């Protein structure tokens, strides 16, 4: 089911206002109303982004914090995979010193 981008935008604006109101009237550091408003805002943003992309082939310049965390995790996993693929000892064992040609060096200048 395709969501109308205009309706999704209206929902996003309402979610932004609700989030602001929850933050402005916060009742402590762990106020569940703020957490709930955050979740509704994130969901409204994703629906708007998807509707915009589906209808117009466009996106916004924003990213959710979750998306950024997932990208960081992917990069960390890629780096670990590279480390796992490279075995320094195997690489050294493949080097055959008997085939190496001597390298001429210049005397050190004083």
User: To the nearest whole percent, how much of the chain has pLDDT over 90?
Assistant: 55
56 and 3 housed in the same domain: yes
Question: Is 98 contained in some domain?
Answer: no
Question: Is 103 contained in some domain?
Answer: no
12 and 45 housed in the same domain: yes
Query: pTM higher than 0.85, yes or no?
Result: no
5 and 51 housed in the same domain: yes
Question: Is 33 contained in some domain?
Answer: yes
Residue 12's domain comprises 1-62
12 and 51 housed in the same domain: yes
11 and 56 housed in the same domain: yes
Question: Is 58 contained in some domain?
Answer: yes
Comparing 9-13, 16-20, 41-45, 99-103, which segment has the lowest mean pLDDT? 99-103
How big, in percent rounded to 5, are the helix, strand and coil portions of the chain?
70, 0, 30
Domain count of the fold of the chain: 2
């Amino acid at each position: 089911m395709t969501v109308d981008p205009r309706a999704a935008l209206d929902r996003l604006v309402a979610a932004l206002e609700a989030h602001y109101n929850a933050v402005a009237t916060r009742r402590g550091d762990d106020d569940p109303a703020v957490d709930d408003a955050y979740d509704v805002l994130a969901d409204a943003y994703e629906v708007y982004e998807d509707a915009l992309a589906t209808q117009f082939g466009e996106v916004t310049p924003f990213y959710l914090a979750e998306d950024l965390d997932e990208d960081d995790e992917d990069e960390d996993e890629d780096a670990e995979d590279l480390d796992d693929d490279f075995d320094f000892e195997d690489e050294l064992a493949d080097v055959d010193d008997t085939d190496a040609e001597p390298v001429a060096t210049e005397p050190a200048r004083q």
